[in-house]
A and B are shown apart, each in its own frame.
Chain A
Amino acid sequence: MDNLTPMFVVIPLAAGFVIPMVSRRLRAASDVFGVLVMSALAVMAAAGARRGGVYAVGDWVSPQGIPLGIEMRLDGLAALLLIAVNAIGLAAVVFSVDYMRRYTSKLRYYSLFMFMVAGMNGVVLSGDFFNLFVFMEIAAIASYALVGFGCGHEELEASFKYLVLGSVASAFILIGVAIVYNMTGTLNMAHVATRLAGQPLGRPMVLALALFLCGFGLKAALVPFHAWLPDAHPSAPAPVSAMLSGVVIKALGIYVMARLLFNVFGAGAAALAVLRGMGALSMVAGVMLAIGQWDMKRLFAYHSISQIGYVALALGLGTPLGIAGGLFHMLNHSIFKSLLFLTAGAVEYATGTRDLKRLGGLRARMPVTAGTSFVASMSIAGIPPFNGFWSKLIIVLACVQAGRHGLALAAVAVSLLTLASFLKVQRYAFFEAAKGGTEHVREAPPLMALAMVLLALLCAGTSLLALTGIASPALIDRAAQALQAGVFGLP
């Protein structure tokens, strides 16, 4: 078996425990260690892109020859998410080396960060319901702590809100797991899928599916359940916001929903319609709420809701083109949204504020930040050379192809509103003349700039993926195939 698979969980988990032990003795060790571990993980994720297979942890076998124990499953979709999580994680860690100097206790920060990454990798690789739940909770507890890391008024309040809603979501998911186990007698996703295949879902399974949709919808911040996100994401330190908005809501929310809907329960028309509806609603509501915001990070957070809506809408179409577009947009969104949060962090680091009314004229003072922020803004607004354009184009085409012209129109309109609100950010923060008090402002330190440039290059680079064909961009097609393959067969 391929021993690479469990390492995605083991390495960050072990690092999370080693970092406090080592860096109590050596001060700089936590920085070096954090960057090294995340680079290793990013390289491993790139190496794992073409691999696949099922990994039985421990290889335990019952006397009757039935395999027991935990399964990890690496397929195209998991590989795509692993690349996103670990690449964004690397950029965030490089950014934090300088940025986190303002906070106390860096070693605890890195330790929690590693647990968060381990939890997300575990969720993505997990092949059974309960381990998915456990890894989700590891990532969630670490992110609750990271949101409240600053220990100010807002941070604690946001963290508490996130914690309560997150716990309720976890409770729903656990009830769902209990129902699935009761009805099928197994927790392994592949076994559950084969037991459910070929017959309509019974009433208990519909209840379980509804509970899963509510729970993971809450984790993904789709609209009826979005209340925690605009508080929690801006309150966290910038690299953590980048991780939360960039990958946590996807790995813990959208990924699991897609996996369960397409691979385990079999994509029923009703469930897809619910996903589509929630997606369209979040897409519109998110952008409406975003456009009036003056806090830079809060504005970005509302846009996360809106962009997650695009992904859910596209996946909810259920057509091959829709799935490809949704997954492509998910990858793109994780890149440009984390870049946006990092630039907001750099602005806050240099000026001490993120209120758009008090900023201005930063273009001359912080050229790297302004440039990367421009790239990211144009990406999210869907301007042609950048990646956001291609994925939105695929989504709109998929809507038209599926005969849902209203949804296509809504997607285009939301894209225009997104453009408007990002022009506002660009104008007030970077282009408009300085309002005074910005003389002391200097460009962000080199490592922060490096992280931002890296992500900006990725923004331009992933648009090249679309060159291999609109319907199946490279790297995405394998993930889309994993979803379209329908319910899992037994390995």
Chain B
Amino acid sequence: MIYALCLMLIAVGLYGVVVKKNVVKIVISLAIMEYGINLLLILVGYRAGGHAPIMEPGASPAEFAAGAVDPLPQALVLTSIVIGLGVLAMMVAICIRLYERYGTFDITEMRRLRG
């Protein structure tokens, strides 16, 4: 069920990327898509009733390993957030430059290249 919600979030993002004409809205859609994927990754490592994978002094390793959620997807999500940040900054910078050149955020008016 929750997985389906994640996939829906991803689908909403993809819809926005395909349909929207405004450059900034495309950027926002891509960000939504990425959050959907991050959520999916976190869910992959989730364990019902698990606790944070940080060891307290005095806890036995076996007991700890039995109760903790999987830490690896969390590390992956952190990395993917950092990458997303880089891509987002890059996209926003290009949007600003595009606005400087064309005076508009509408991609249908940016037609120097035919693809």
Is chain B in direct contact with chain A in the complex (CB below 8 A)?
yes
How far is B115's CA from A161's CA once the two chains are assembled, in angstroms?
A: 10
Proximity bits, A126-153, B CB within 8 Å = 1, else 0: 0000100110010001001100100111
B41 close to chain A: CB less than 8 A? yes
How far is B86's CA from A187's CA once the two chains are assembled, in angstroms?
A: 24
One of A22-30, A171-179, A271-279 at the interface: A171-179
One of A50-58, A162-170, A382-390 at the interface: A162-170
How far is B113's CA from A228's CA once the two chains are assembled, in angstroms?
A: 11
Interface residues of B in 62-92 (CB under 8 A from A): 72-73, 76, 79-80, 83, 86-87, 90-91
Interface residues of B in 93-115 (CB under 8 A from A): 94-95, 97-98, 101-102, 110, 112-113, 115
CB-CB under 8 A from A175, the residues of chain B are 10, 37, 40
CB-CB under 8 A from B10, the residues of chain A are 171, 175
Partner of A163, one of B73, B94, B97: B94
CB-CB under 8 A from B112, the residues of chain A are 153-154, 157
How far is B83's CA from A137's CA once the two chains are assembled, in angstroms?
A: 7
Q: Is the CB of B40 within 8 A of A134?
A: no
CB-CB under 8 A from A137, the residues of chain B are 83, 86-87
A231 close to chain B: CB less than 8 A? yes
CB of A146 to closest CB in B, whole Å:
11
Proximity bits, B30-70, A CB within 8 Å = 1, else 0: 10011001001100100000000000000001000000000
Partner of B30, one of A153, A168, A230: A168
Partner of B113, one of A158, A163, A178: A158
Q: Is the CB of A130 within 8 A of B94?
A: no
Using CB atoms, name the residue of chain A closest to B101: A153
Tell me how many residues of A have a C-beta within 8 Å of chain B: 37
How far is B91's CA from A464's CA once the two chains are assembled, in angstroms?
A: 45
A156 close to chain B: CB less than 8 A? yes
Known interface pairs A164-B26, A178-B37, A178-B41; A145-B97 also in contact (CB < 8 Å): no
How far is B29's CA from A87's CA once the two chains are assembled, in angstroms?
A: 39
Known interface pairs A137-B87, A230-B115; A157-B26 also in contact (CB < 8 Å): no
A181 close to chain B: CB less than 8 A? yes
Known interface pairs A164-B17, A164-B26, A175-B40; A157-B90 also in contact (CB < 8 Å): no
Partner of B115, one of A144, A167, A227: A227
A159 close to chain B: CB less than 8 A? yes
How far is B38's CA from A175's CA once the two chains are assembled, in angstroms?
A: 9
Known interface pairs A130-B76, A157-B110, A178-B44; A171-B37 also in contact (CB < 8 Å): yes
A63 close to chain B: CB less than 8 A? yes
Tell me how many residues of B have a C-beta within 8 Å of chain A: 34
Using CB atoms, name the residue of chain A closest to B45: A181
A401 close to chain B: CB less than 8 A? no
How far is B110's CA from A160's CA once the two chains are assembled, in angstroms?
A: 11
CB of B59 to closest CB in A, whole Å:
14
Q: Is the CB of A145 within 8 A of B90?
A: yes
Q: Is the CB of B98 within 8 A of A181?
A: no
Using CB atoms, name the residue of chain B closest to A161: B115
B12 close to chain A: CB less than 8 A? no
Q: Is the CB of A156 within 8 A of B98?
A: yes
Interface residues of A in 169-222 (CB under 8 A from B): 170-171, 174-175, 177-178, 181-182, 187
CB of B1 to closest CB in A, whole Å:
15
CB of A489 to closest CB in B, whole Å:
23
CB-CB under 8 A from A134, the residues of chain B are 79, 83
CB-CB under 8 A from A181, the residues of chain B are 41, 44, 72-73, 76
Q: Is the CB of A163 within 8 A of B87?
A: yes
CB-CB under 8 A from B41, the residues of chain A are 174, 178, 181
Residues of A at under 8 Å CB distance from B? 63, 130, 133-134, 137, 141, 144-145, 148, 151-154, 156-161, 163-164, 167-168, 170-171, 174-175, 177-178, 181-182, 187, 227-228, 230-231, 235
13 pairs of residues in contact across A and B, judged by CB atoms under 8 Å: A134-B79, A137-B86, A144-B87, A145-B90, A148-B97, A153-B102, A156-B98, A163-B91, A164-B17, A164-B26, A167-B30, A170-B87, A182-B44
Extra contacts besides A144-B94, A177-B76 (20): CB < 8 Å? A133-B80, A137-B83, A141-B86, A141-B90, A153-B110, A153-B112, A156-B94, A157-B112, A160-B23, A160-B94, A161-B115, A163-B90, A164-B26, A171-B10, A171-B30, A171-B33, A175-B40, A178-B40, A178-B41, A231-B115
